[in-house]
Amino acid sequence: MNPVLPLALALATAVAAGGRLLLWQQSGPQDSGSLLTLLLGESRRAFADQMFLKADGYYHMGNYPSVFDLALPDGKTHMAKESEGHDQHGHSQPLPHHRDWLEAFGHHFRPTGHRHLDGIRDGREILPWLRLSAELDPHRVDSYTVAAYWLRERLNRVPDAEAFLREGLRANPDSYEILFELGRLYAENNRDVPRARAVLELAINKWIHREAAKPAPDTPSYRLILGQLATLEEQAGNLDRALAHYTRLKHFSPQPDAVQKRIDEVLTKMARPK
């Protein structure tokens, strides 16, 4: 048999299979064609998680539990909780007891004690890991929201925070978390009420679209968005709108009495003669 024939057949099969694979790859969801995506493939998501934990480790000044130590029960990092405004983990915890003399000796050679990053000088140090986490996995929404929180709240770098959130929104157009953070930025930093309102209302729509039908929806995020929107409207003098949002919030809040108090305040304001 002519040796050219099997070679030609192999080549034809390779070209056909290659073309088919290319079409299959292009039909899937397209991430950014970055070098990291090319090099690491899907494993980059695991690396992104590690980078995010690294940032949390920096937030704790290097004193961070390993996989062998206690895992966080709700799967959220302390750094992310702080950006959501409810990090209340034990600052006054006693130092961990030492299981043996070797462990006690080892504590002299690594950071111990519960400390957090503080001030502008230290605060910026978590940003490279969050940036890298976002580069590795652009669909990890936490990376954008936490970095934006630190940029605007701690470092007073509002334009950088906005640019990063917009980058995150391009990669995750349905993310109500990013929209909420962007709305906060417009409301609290830029004082741009119409824009903040538009973005927060879009966040509510996205939340309803993504979460409302779920058996266990992400209600804490919904409460945050509603609360932000209600406060914004109250401050802008749109009391009827604020009242509507507070009423919705009361329905979802674990502390309806506190929300009712706000509703009463708004009603009092509305009853005042103009």
Partner 1 sequence: MNTVWSLAKVVVLEMVRRKDFYVLFILTVLLTGTAGSVNLFNDRSIVRYLKEICLLLIWLSGLIIAITCTARQIPAEREHRTIFPLLAKPVTRGQFLLGKFLGCWVATGMALVLFYLLFGLVSGSRDHQWPVLNYLQAAWLHWMMLGIVIAFTLLGSIVFAAPSSNGTISFACAAGMLLLGRHLNKVALSVAEPLQSLLYTAYFILPHLELFDVRELIIHDAGLIRWDMVTLATLYAAAYGAFFLFGAWLAFRRRPLN
Helices (H), the chain: 4-27, 35-40, 44-59, 78-84, 101-106, 119-123, 127-136, 141-149, 158-171, 176-184, 193-211, 219-236, 239-252, 256-271
Least distance between partner 1 and beta carbon 200 (Å):
25
String of b and e for 214-238 (b: at least 16 CB within 10 Å)?
A: eeeeeeebbbbbbbbbbbbbbebee
Q: Is there binding between residue 97 and partner 1 (CB under 8 A)?
A: no
Q: Which amino acid is at 51?
A: M
Of 190, 255, 178, nearest to 246 by C-alpha is 255
Residue 167 near partner 1 by CB under 8 A: no
Q: From residue 125 to residue 144, what is the string marking binding to partner 1 with x (rule CB under 8 A)? A: x-xxx-x-------------
To partner 1, the closest distance from the beta carbon of 68 in angstroms equals 4
Closer of 86 and 99 to partner 1 (Cβ): 99
Q: How far is the CB of 85 from partner 1 (least distance, A)?
A: 22
**Of the candidate residues 108, 214, 272, 274, the single one contacting partner 1 (CB under 8 A):** 108
Q: Does 65 bind partner 1 (CB under 8 A)?
A: no
Which of 60, 120, 61 has the alpha carbon at shortest distance from 90?
A: 60
Helix (H) / strand (E) element for 274: namely none
Stretch that binds partner 1, among 18-26, 40-48, 109-117, 245-253 (CB under 8 A): 109-117
Tell me how far, at minimum, the Cβ of 111 lies from partner 1, in Å.
5
Q: At CA 89, angle to CA 179 and CA 155, rounded to 5?
A: 50
Strands (E), the chain: none
Does 256 bind partner 1 (CB under 8 A)? Our answer is no
Q: How many residues does the chain have?
A: 274
160 sits near partner 1 (criterion: CB under 8 A): yes
Closest Cα to residue 230, out of 273, 187, 176?
Answer: 187
Our CB check for partner 1 shows the closer of 66 and 88 to be 66
Is 102 one of the binding residues for partner 1 (CB under 8 A)? yes
For partner 1, the binding residues (CB under 8 A) are 58, 61-62, 66, 68-69, 99-100, 102-103, 105-106, 108-111, 121, 124-125, 127-129, 131, 151, 157, 160, 164
